[in-house]
Structure 1
Amino acid sequence: MTSQIHDALIHVMIVAASADSAITERELTRITALIERLPVFDGFDKGRLTQVANQCADVLNGPDGLDRVLDEAIAALPAKLQDTAYALAVEVTAVDLHLEQEELRFLEMLRDKLSLDRLTTAAIEVAARARHRKLPG
């Protein structure tokens, strides 16, 4: 069961990274760092990351790929990890410091599929922007 949860969270991050049709090196680095550092990924075999990412890409490239990946990921997550999934998606999209229209639409779609209130999602978004902000100049 833990493996399914890990895979679901990684699938959400992969889809978030690819929402603007290109996964950047910064996004891949962020995904790896999140997996290595966050307690929710304790016990995840990091050697499986490429396999999990490829599984996600296979489903994503199939019929109704985006909806299918998200629906399967959300179904695998306990309700208490839905905010975590959203936070991971926001974290990956925020790494570039500028969200493209496709990324904003993806986050909106994810919000609609998750059982999260708007206040929670807004707080997650503001916190991510604050974490990624750079000094002016």
Structure 2
Amino acid sequence: MPSDRKSRAGTIDHHAALIYTMVLVSAADREMTDRELATIGDVVSHWPVFRDFDREKLSSTAEDCANLLRDEDGLDQVIETIRAALPKHLCETAYALACDVAAADGRASQEELRLLEMLRYGLEIGRLEAAAIERATRVRHATL
């Protein structure tokens, strides 16, 4: 990646990277639904990785991601920003969060599925690991 792109994106912490991941998936089909937003809020409130996150920063962090997405190369920029900010051991966590947001409406759109593929590649998640995470997501979100 060119250094000018990275300098425009700035650096973020792991909390912001995880939030950017969820916002990215939610915005993939150009419609951030109430269920997706509720999922993001629930994750930030309950997942252990967010225990030391100031929840008052959730809206501004999500807005920062949305602003980056408006750039001409926004999608690539956000994915690179996420990748650069996450320690390797949180990449699978980010992918799991992305899958949960995609599943929040009961069905992932084509845009969300394509974005999950891009995230899997960008975060260097192996096919087997991705399949396991996706299966766990289906199991958690199963209904009658």
Structure 1 spans left out of the alignment, 5+ residues: none
The one of 14, 35, 44 equivalent to 2:23 is 14
Number of residues of Structure 1 aligned to a counterpart in Structure 2: 133
- The corresponding residue for 1:36 is 45
Instruction: Give aligned-pair identity as a percent.
Output: 47
Counterpart of 1:34 in structure 2: which amino acid? V
| Residue 116 of structure 1: how far off its partner (Å) | 1.6
Aligned: 1:97 with 2:106: yes
| Residue 42 of structure 1: how far off its partner (Å) | 1.1
The one of 43, 68, 72 equivalent to 1:63 is 72
Distance 1:112 1:5 in 2: 19
Q: Which runs of 4+ in 1 moved over 4 A?
A: none
Structure 2 spans left out of the alignment, 5+ residues: 1-11
| Residue 97 of structure 1: how far off its partner (Å) | 1.4
CA RMSD, Structure 1 to Structure 2 (Å)? 0.9
So what's the TM-score if we normalise by structure 2? 0.90
- The corresponding residue for 2:97 is 88
Distance 1:68 1:42 in 2: 27
Deviations 1:3-51 (A, max 9, x none): 7110010000000111111000000000000000000011100001111
Deviations 1:61-114 (A, max 9, x none): 112001101100110000000000000000000111111110110001111111
